[in-house]
Amino acid sequence: MRALILTLLSCVVLTMLVRQPNAQTVSNSKTSSAVPVAHLDTSKIHTWMLPPFDINGKPAKAHTQGLLVHQNGFFVTARRDDINPRRSLLLWLNCDPSNQKDNCNESKGTWAKIWDITPTSQPASWSGMLDHPGGFDSDGENLWIPISQSRRNGKTMVRKFSIRSLIDKGDATPT
């Protein structure tokens, strides 16, 4: 029992010693946050402007949700807001992101494809439209896109789309 008490006391003392220098560093900090803030040289950050969002030659309103940089261009998820009901979209900008002088900038590029990926069916127990795509990821062969209801505590469905099918066939059928 005595050994256990000594071990516990040693742990407490060690914890206090480890935390003490950190506490002094934080208290001497002049920033409003205890977490160090990195200062970026924005002149060294390359940016791309995405092309305008048009459907059938007419401007449409949507806000972007996620971006995936692929060797064949940019995939972007967005929610279309200018129609009712709102829609979940997947857009593809065909370009070479590794080449900064390629056609990835707004002035040269146009969306190669725009797909409506709003689910047409969902579990019967769910009420409400799945109209809000999220940020997404890829496993190298597929895009994994969450699509949610636009409300607090709403339901979410994750859909998988074949990149090859999207690019080669223009087919956005979930797999």
Condensed to tens digits (0 to 9), the pLDDT of residues 29-71 reads: 455 567 777 777 877 777 778 888 888 888 899 999 999 999 8
pLDDT of residue 142: 96
Tell me the range of 26-30, 50-54, 154-158 where mean pLDDT is highest.
Answer: 154-158
116 in any annotated domain: yes
1 in any annotated domain: no
103 in any annotated domain: yes
26 in any annotated domain: no
d(CA 173, CA 101): 33
Calculate mean pLDDT across residues 150-172. 92
124 in any annotated domain: yes
14 in any annotated domain: no
Residue 145 contacts residue 136 (beta carbons within 8 Å): yes
Is residue 2 predicted with pLDDT exceeding 90? no
Number of domains in the chain: 1
pTM (predicted TM-score): 0.71
Is residue 5 predicted with pLDDT exceeding 80? no
Range of the domain at 141: 49-169
pLDDT of residue 24: 43
164 in any annotated domain: yes
Residue-averaged pLDDT of the chain:
80
13 in any annotated domain: no
Percent helix, strand and coil across the chain, each rounded to 5?
20, 30, 50
d(CA 35, CA 37): 6
